[in-house]
Structure 1
Amino acid sequence: MNLTDRVVVITGGAGGIGAALGRRFAAEGAAAVVLADLAADAARGAAEAIGPVATGVGLDVTDEAAVRALVDETERRHGRIDLFCANAGVATGGGLDAPDADWDRAWRVNVLGLLHSVRAVLPGMLRRGQGHLLLTCSAAGLLTAVGDAPYTATKHAAVGLAEWVAITHRDDGIRVSALCPQGVDTPMLADGLAERHLGARVIAASGAILTPDQVADAVVAGLAEERFLILPHPEVADYARRRAEDPDGWQAGLRKLVRRLRAADR
Structure 2
Amino acid sequence: MVVIAVLDGGDGDGPARRFAAAGAAGLLIADPRPGVAEDLAAALDRTGCPVAGVSSDIHQPSDIAALVDTAEKHLGRIDLFCVAGPDGERIVALADLPGDLDRLAELLDPLGEAIGEVLPAQRRAPSGSAVR
Distance 1:14 1:89, change over 3 A: closer
What is the Cα deviation at residue 40 of structure 1?
Answer: 3.1
What's 1:18 paired with? 12
What's 1:59 paired with? 56
TM-score, with structure 1 as normaliser: 0.34
Distance 1:60 1:33, change over 3 A: same
Greater relative contact order: 1 or 2 (C-alpha under 8 angstroms, separation 6 or more)? 2
* Partner deviation per Cα, 1:48-93 (whole Å, 9 max, x = no partner): 1112321110102222212111112212233311000122459xxx
TM-score, with structure 2 as normaliser: 0.62
Distance 1:150 1:13 in 2: 15
Which consecutive unaligned segments of at least 5 residues does structure 1 have?
1-6, 91-113, 158-266
Distance 1:13 1:32, change over 3 A: farther
> What amino acid sits opposite 2:75 in the alignment?
H
Which consecutive unaligned segments of at least 5 residues does structure 2 have?
101-109, 128-132
Candidates 22, 35, 38, aligned match of 2:32: 38
Distance 2:33 2:99 in 1: 32
The alignment yields a C-alpha RMSD, in angstroms, of 3.8
What's 2:69 paired with? 72
Give yes or no for the alignment of 1:127 onto 2:60. no
Between the aligned residues of both structures, percent identity stands at 35
What's 1:166 paired with? none
Distance 2:122 2:10 in 1: 21
* Partner deviation per Cα, 1:206-228 (whole Å, 9 max, x = no partner): xxxxxxxxxxxxxxxxxxxxxxx
Give yes or no for the alignment of 1:81 onto 2:68. no
Distance 1:47 1:62, change over 3 A: same
Give yes or no for the alignment of 1:27 onto 2:27. no
Distance 2:38 2:59 in 1: 20
Please list, as runs of the form range in 1=range in 2, the aligned pairs for 1:200-239 lying within 5 A after superposition. Answer: none
What is the Cα deviation at residue 39 of structure 1?
Answer: 1.4
Query: Runs ≥4 in structure 1, deviation > 3 angstroms?
Result: 13-17, 125-128
What is the Cα deviation at residue 28 of structure 1?
Answer: 0.6
Distance 1:49 1:14, change over 3 A: farther
Please list, as runs of the form range in 1=range in 2, the aligned pairs for 1:83-98 lying within 5 A after superposition. Answer: 83-88=80-85
What is the Cα deviation at residue 150 of structure 1?
Answer: 2.3
Distance 1:34 1:42 in 2: 12
What's 1:230 paired with? none
Q: Which structure has the bigger radius of gyration? A: 1
Greater fraction of residues in strand: 2
